[in-house]
Amino acid sequence: MGKPQPPPELLPGTLYLLALRTLRDGPLHGYAIARRIRDASADTLQIEDGSLYPALNRMVVKGWLASEWGISDNNRKARFYRLTAQGRKQLERETKDFDTLISAIQLVMRTV
């Protein structure tokens, strides 16, 4: 109940990392974040768009993101998310952890 529910292909917690990463260069609304992730992964990451929003909300609660209402490109009211200083630090930390993890896994895969 209430736990993040990414599809099995996605490593736990990765959704946070992806969302944070897409927001590194500036504020985006939810749909744009989903879109970026899809485009950047060349459609290989099958994420239900809906699961993005609980993750975004959780990060707002944690203080990593801030959100405010703005006007989208297609001239509609949309909620924009941006990284806070705390979120930026979290992104650095998670990126490092992720890299460490991946290289460790790769090391194991190569040697065993």
Out of 13, 27, 31, 88, the only residue in the binding site for another protein (CB under 8 A) is 31
Residue 44 binds to another protein (criterion: CB under 8 A)? no
- Distance in angstroms (rounded) separating the CA atoms of residues 60 and 82: 10
Q: What is the dihedral of CA 60, 64, 68, 72, to 10 degrees?
A: -110
76 or 110: whose CB is closer to another protein? 76
Residue 30 binds to another protein (criterion: CB under 8 A)? yes
Nearest to 62 by CA among 94, 102, 98: 94
Out of 61, 108, 109, 112, the only residue in the binding site for another protein (CB under 8 A) is 61
Residue 95 binds to another protein (criterion: CB under 8 A)? no
Pair 35, 52: CB distance under 8 Å: no
Count of residues touching another protein (by CB under 8 A): 28
SS3 4: coil
57 or 103: whose CB is closer to another protein? 57
70 or 102: whose CB is closer to another protein? 70
